[in-house]
């Protein structure tokens, strides 16, 4: 198996081996409008004559161009939010991108959506794909989260995790936090175009001592914050799934979500005992709910989708795409893999 991916903040490609899987990581441009890695796209396009299956991720990036000229079967996971971007520039770019995608989406043998909400949104804009879609949620490494140790001596913590872009509405959480009394703190994990603006807003609201924008974190550090948080909040305007809320529930946090289709879906399927979906998005209502959830007992966790099951279901989709897969044992004796497929994704 070969994974082609990309990451911002690096200048040279790297190659790593994990058992029978090779991971090639290319530099990505540091732009907020779209995820762009020309070297990743070129590397994927060069495989168009390969007879190996390729799994492409990311409608909202240039990665989808890897579908061009593919002769072998291809599986596509779009992570579709609709015909919108994270900025006004991305909205402009999505106009020609949508027209191109109407043609590109004819090519995959199968399409995987991570939620029913994403499936409905994709079919609404691209009706011809309906009979090729399977719904397989994102997997959660619940065991690793539960093994992590909470950070010591932290005050009651409200946590936000995600890209710091306007559609995530973290500024709304900040304004609501004004009415959450000390010693509670708000910790914001992630990076993006709105980072400086959020820091300035925290200062303007007199919250600089209790709001911490910690940037992007590796998995180990993020898992510790997930185990520390009493409450997790996402007021995002659009999502394809909502992995961070499910991860936070695994860590024991109470969950507060905006009322959007993807959030309603994960609330019903995974988070029933620990979630509030806000039908009132006013600042006062959100502040009152945060105070209420801070006073509630910690969550006992949730039934998160397991990566092993997700991998098995994904390989089932590969098999229906007409490629014969072999599943050898890796160094640990049981890791699922497939030697005859090329997996391509954008890790930004």
Nearest to 286 by CA among 296, 299, 295, 277: 277
Contact 275, 257 (CB under 8 A): yes
The kind and range of the H/E element at 342 are strand 341-344
Cα–chain center distance at 138: 8
pLDDT score of 342: 42
Q: What is the pLDDT of residue 323?
A: 53
Give pTM, 2 decimals: 0.84
- Res 230: pLDDT: 97
CB neighbourhood size of 183 (10 A): 8
Distance (Å, whole) CA 236 – CA 172:
10
Neighbouring CB atoms inside 10 A of 151's CB total 14
Q: What is the pLDDT of residue 330?
A: 32
Q: What pLDDT shows up at residue 253?
A: 97
**DSSP character for 38?**
H
Which structural domains are found in the chain, ordered by start? Answer: 2-139+306-344 (3.40.50), 142-295 (3.40.50.2000)
pLDDT reported for residue 337: 33
Alpha-carbon distance 155 to 138, whole Å? 31
Say what the pLDDT of residue 54 is: 81
Helix (H), strand (E) at residue 293? helix 283-295
pLDDT tens by residue, 135-144:
999 999 999 9
Q: Is 240 helix (H, G, I), strand (E, B) or coil?
A: coil
Cis bond leading into 127, ω under 30°?
no
Answer left, alpha or beta for residue 315, where phi above 0 means left and psi between -120 and 50 means alpha.
Answer: alpha
In the chain, helix, strand, coil percent, each to 5?
Answer: 40, 20, 40
Residues 6+ apart with CB under 8 A from 69: 45, 48
Cα 89 from Cα 314, distance rounded (Å): 34
Q: For the chain, which residues score pLDDT lower than 50?
A: 324-348
CB contact set of 205 (below 8 Å; sequence gap of 6+): 174, 175, 177, 178
């Amino acid at each position: 198996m070969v994974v082609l991916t990309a990451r911002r903040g690096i200048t040279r490609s790297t190659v790593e081996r994990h058992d029978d899987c090779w991971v090639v990581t290319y530099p990505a441009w540091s732009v907020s409008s779209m995820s762009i890695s020309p070297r990743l796209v070129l590397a994927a396009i060069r495989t168009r004559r390969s007879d190996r299956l390729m799994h492409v991720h990311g409608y909202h990036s240039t990665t989808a161009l890897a579908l061009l000229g593919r002769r072998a079967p291809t599986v596509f996971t779009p992570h579709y939010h609709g015909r919108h971007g994270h900025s006004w520039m991305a909205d402009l770019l999505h106009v020609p991108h949508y027209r191109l995608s109407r043609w590109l989406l004819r090519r995959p043998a199968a399409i995987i959506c991570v939620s029913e909400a994403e499936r409905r949104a994709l079919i609404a804009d691209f009706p011809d794909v309906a009979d090729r879609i399977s719904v397989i949620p994102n997997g959660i490494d619940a065991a690793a989260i539960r093994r992590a140790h909470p950070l010591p001596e932290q005050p009651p913590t409200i946590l936000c995790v995600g890209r710091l872009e306007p559609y995530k509405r973290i500024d709304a959480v900040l304004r609501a936090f004004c009415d959450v009394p000390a010693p509670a703190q708000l910790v914001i994990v992630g990076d993006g175009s709105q980072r400086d603006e959020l820091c300035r807003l925290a200062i303007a609201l007199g919250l600089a001592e209790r709001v911490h924008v910690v940037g992007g974190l590796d998995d180990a550090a993020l898992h510790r914050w997930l185990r520390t948080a009493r409450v997790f909040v996402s007021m995002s305007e659009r999502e394809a799934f909502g992995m961070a809320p499910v991860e936070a529930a695994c860590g024991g946090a109470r969950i507060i979500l905006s009322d959007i289709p993807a959030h309603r879906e994960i609330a019903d399927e995974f988070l029933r005992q620990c979630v509030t979906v806000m039908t009132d998005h006013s600042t006062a209502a959100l502040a009152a709910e945060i105070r209420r959830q801070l006073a509630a007992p910690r969550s006992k966790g949730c039934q998160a989708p397991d990566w092993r099951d997700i991998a098995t279901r994904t390989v089932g989709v590969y098999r229906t795409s007409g490629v014969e897969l072999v599943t050898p044992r890796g160094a640990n004796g049981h890791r699922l893999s497939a030697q005859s497929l090329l997996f391509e994704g954008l890790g930004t």
